[in-house]
Amino acid sequence: MFPLDQLRTLLAVVDEGTFDAAAAVLHVTPSAVSQRVKALEQGTGRVLLLRTKPARLTESGQVVVRLARQLAQLDRDARVELGMAHSGEPATLPIAVNADSLATWFLPVLTGVPAELRICFELHREDQDHTTTLLREGLVMAAVTSSPDPVQGCSVSPLGGMRYLPVASPGFVARWLDRPLRKAVGEVPVVVFDRHDDLQDRFARALTRGRDAGPLRHLVPSSEGFVDAVVAGLGWGLVPAAQAAPRLESGTLVLLDPRRAIDVPLYWQQWKLDSPALAATAAAVAEAAKEALDRR
C-alpha cells in the first residue's frame, strides 16, 4: 500500500495545480509537498508529475491518482456507513457533464441524491470529447458524454438521446429565408457553439447532400447564450428541444424543418467502484435522463 499522506499530497497538487497551492490547502510547507511527491515517485519507481505550471500527470501519475481517488471515496463511504460522516470531510464527487445537459436536464440529479450521503458535487463542463481524458486522468469519477467507448476501468450505460431542432427567429426568416433552408444553407448566417460543434454542419450536409453550414458563422460557447443568439436573429441553429419548445410556443422561434431533427445519444460512464455515493448519483442520473431524454 502506498502511504495515504503521499497519495493525498499528489491529489492536492493535481487539484490545485501547483506545489504552493497544494501546500496551502494541506497546511504544510511547499517543501514538504515536494518531498512527499518525490517519496511517492521513489516508491513507485516512476515519474508521476511533470513540474509544469499547472503540474501535469504522467501516464503512471494518472494510474496513481485514480487509485488515490478511489481509496479516498471508499474511505469516505465507510465513514458515512459507520455514522462518522460529520467527523470527516464531505464526499466530493467530480463529474464531467456536457454543456447542453448542464443547461437542460441535469440539474434534478443534484437534488435527487439523498442529503444524508453528504455529497458535494464538483461538476466539470465537458469540453467536447475531452471527457474521456478527464476520466482517464482521474480528474472526474463519472461523466455524461457522447462517447460510447468505455475508458479503461469504467462502465458505460446509455442514457437516451438528446434531440436538437433546427430553428430561427421570425425576423431571421423574414430577412434571410425567402427560399427554403435547403437552398439557402451555406449562404445565410448560422450560430455554432464552438469550433468543435459540428451539429449545424451535419444538419446542413444531410439537407443539401454535402454542403456544410457555410462561412457566415457566429461562435457562442454558452448554452443559454446560444439560444439567446438564435432568438436575437443572429443566425439559424440547432437548439435542444427542451430549450426550443417554450420559444416555439410563444413564437419567438420558428421550426425550420418539421421532419428533420438531430438526436445525440448520451452515455453515463463511471469508474467501476462499489461506492454508495456513486451508485446513488448514477441512479439519480438515470432517473432524470428517463424523464428528459428520448429512449428507443
Is residue 111 close enough to count as binding its own copies by CB under 8 A?
yes
The binder of its own copies chosen from 56, 124, 247, 260 (CB under 8 A): 124
At closest approach, how far in Å is the CB of 217 from its own copies?
6
Q: Which residues from 167-196 bind its own copies, rule CB under 8 A?
A: 189, 195
Distance (Å, whole) CA 267 – CA 290: 12
Sketch the per residue contact string, 201 through 240, with its own copies: x for CB under 8 A, - otherwise: --------------xxxxxxxxxxx--xx--xxx------
Distance (Å, whole) CA 6 – CA 284: 34
C-alpha cell at 220: 457562442
CB burial of residue 218 (10 Å; 0-12, 13-18, 19+): middle
Q: Which is nearer to its own copies, 41 or 235 (CB)?
A: 235
With cell 448520451, the residue in question is 266
Sketch the per residue contact string, 242 through 271, with its own copies: x for CB under 8 A, - otherwise: ------------------------------
The binder of its own copies chosen from 8, 125, 205, 260 (CB under 8 A): 125
The binder of its own copies chosen from 33, 99, 282, 289 (CB under 8 A): 99
Residues in CB range of 268: below 8 A, 6 or more apart: 142, 143, 144, 156, 157, 158, 159, 282, 285, 286, 289
Q: Are strands 154-168 and 254-255 parallel, antiparallel or unpaired?
A: antiparallel
Q: Are 249 and 167 in contact (CB under 8 A)?
A: no
The binder of its own copies chosen from 5, 15, 201, 263 (CB under 8 A): 15
Site for its own copies, rule CB under 8 A: 15-16, 89-90, 99, 102-103, 106-108, 110-111, 118, 120-125, 189, 195, 215-225, 228-229, 232-234
